[in-house]
């Protein structure tokens, strides 16, 4: 997968060149709709008054910029779509399928064949016009529904991928676990023979949250605080104006700064305490996580309920070389619980944890895993 190499599966069942045009058409209509809304609102609310006052130069400048700006966005989208397709990767292994996609925030998902609930091919309106298909791979998790699909292949490739996956699924030695009884079966598996025997300690002591995680979280908190502060200030200020008080910038700005400081400081304190108290460890029969800020949360995720594992990177994580390992479970779809997330991992460590889960836990030997 280095240097954007294609797998054997991609060579056999490649993406269609028409995928580029589908994504470009989708982006074009989104940009056009956003542009029209902005032009109409600004024309009615701002530039008609300027035009009536005789300031035509400003109005002309606005309309020139309003044409150039969306064109620049469209050019950027052309580059992004080409880079997205170039980095698109999918491959099959002995016991799971791997799909990786994304440019600035790449996500990699691995879905075990024994946990696949459904494989289906569909087309939306643009797909029908362009003659391309999407192959969906659904397990019991929300993550798989979002990430686990190969979109933009021709009919022959779609049928070939579907047949390949169905053959992989039918080759399992036992039927899939009944999701309605996944909670009770997961509890019974905790007391069974050890499942995880990798010979290595997989815990927060060996794979700690990187120190770079804090500045990323602080920046996110800064941005959120910057957005929320004026919103709350306007809301509070509107109550004062509704009583007939005159508007003054001084108190408004002071209130915005105060709200910003409260939200940002609270975010910093919360993240620091959470990072200090967060722990995880791969036990013989389950993954244990502990977190504590205002309340304490301990979770034990049995290996038998694991559906898939994803290594994802946000924009800032990608810049700092970090990632988040997301371990999705079968109980999630029944009880709407969140997946286990191991954030702030160095990318090398995150990929190593995902590899260990794939090789040691997502095994086809069900006599050891109970999967």
List C-alpha distances in Å: 171 to 63, 168, 267, 280, 353: 62, 5, 49, 34, 27
Q: Which residues contact 371 (CB under 8 A, 6 or more apart)?
A: 112, 114, 115, 177, 303, 304, 306, 362, 363
333 & 360 share domain: yes
**Residue 139 corresponds to which tokens in the numbers above?**
């397990």
Residue 191 has pLDDT above 60, yes or no: no
- Of the candidates 251, 276, 301, which is a domain's last residue? 276
Domain membership flag for residue 48: yes
Structural contact between residues 278 and 69, judged by C-beta atoms closer than 8 angstroms = no
95 lies in some domain: no
DSSP 92-152: E-SSEEEEEE-SSS-EEEEEEGGG--EEEEE--HHHHHHT-EEEEEE-SSHHHHHH-EEEE
Asked if residue 47 is part of any domain, the answer here is yes
Q: What is the pLDDT of residue 51?
A: 61
Inside any domain, residue 233: yes
pLDDT of res. 358: 81
For residue 20, name the pLDDT band (cuts at 50, 70, 90): very high
The domain tally of the chain equals 3
Mark whether 230 and 269 lie in a shared domain. yes
Instruction: For residue 198, give the H/E element and its range.
Output: none
Q: Which two tokens mark 329?
A: 């479970």
pLDDT digits (tens, 9 = 90+) for 296-338: 776 777 777 777 888 999 889 999 999 999 988 764 443 445 5
To which residue do tokens 């008609």 refer? 48
Q: What is the rounded average pLDDT for all residues in the chain?
A: 78
Average of per-residue pLDDT across 123-131: 87
Strands 279-282 and 286-292: antiparallel
Q: How far is the C-alpha of 357 from the C-alpha of 326, rounded, in Å?
A: 11
pLDDT tens-digit readout, 230-252: 877 777 666 555 555 555 667 77
* Residue 174 pLDDT: 39
Q: Which domain holds residue 297?
A: 278-369
Percent of the chain residues past pLDDT 90, beyond the cut: 31
């Amino acid at each position: 997968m280095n240097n954007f190499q294609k797998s054997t599966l991609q060579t056999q069942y490649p993406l269609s060149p028409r995928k580029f045009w589908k994504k470009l058409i989708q982006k074009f209509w989104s940009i056009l709709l956003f542009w029209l809304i902005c032009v109409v609102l600004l024309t009615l609310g701002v530039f008609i008054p300027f035009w009536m006052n005789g300031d035509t130069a400003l109005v002309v400048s606005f309309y020139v910029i309003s044409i150039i700006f969306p064109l620049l966005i469209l050019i950027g989208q052309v580059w992004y779509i080409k880079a997205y397709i170039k980095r698109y990767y999918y491959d099959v292994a002995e016991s799971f399928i791997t799909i990786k996609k994304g440019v600035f925030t790449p996500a990699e998902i691995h879905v075990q064949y024994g946990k696949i609930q459904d494989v289906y091919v569909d087309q939306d309106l643009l797909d029908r016009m362009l003659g391309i298909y999407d192959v969906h791979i659904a397990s019991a998790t929300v993550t798989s529904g979002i990430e686990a699909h190969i979109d933009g292949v021709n009919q022959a490739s779609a049928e070939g991928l579907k047949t390949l996956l169905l053959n992989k699924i039918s080759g399992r030695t036992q039927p899939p676990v009944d999701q309605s009884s996944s909670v009770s079966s997961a509890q019974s598996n905790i007391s069974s023979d050890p499942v995880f025997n990798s010979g290595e300690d997989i815990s927060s002591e060996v794979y700690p949250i990187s120190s770079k995680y804090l500045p990323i979280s602080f920046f996110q908190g800064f941005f959120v605080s910057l957005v929320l502060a004026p919103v709350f200030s306007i809301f509070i200020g509107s109550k004062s104006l509704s009583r007939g008080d005159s508007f003054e910038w001084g108190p408004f700005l002071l209130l915005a700064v105060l709200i910003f400081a409260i939200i940002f400081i609270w975010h910093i304190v919360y993240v620091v305490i959470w990072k200090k108290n967060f722990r995880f460890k791969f036990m013989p029969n389950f993954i244990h996580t502990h977190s504590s800020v205002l309340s304490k949360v301990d979770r034990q995720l049995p290996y038998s309920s694991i559906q898939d594992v994803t290594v994802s990177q946000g924009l800032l994580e990608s810049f700092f070389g970090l990632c988040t390992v997301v371990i999705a479970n079968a109980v999630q779809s029944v009880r709407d619980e969140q997946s286990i997330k191991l954030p702030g991992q160095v990318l090398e460590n995150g990929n190593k944890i995902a590899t260990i889960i794939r090789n040691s836990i997502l095994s086809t030997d069900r006599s050891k895993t109970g999967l």
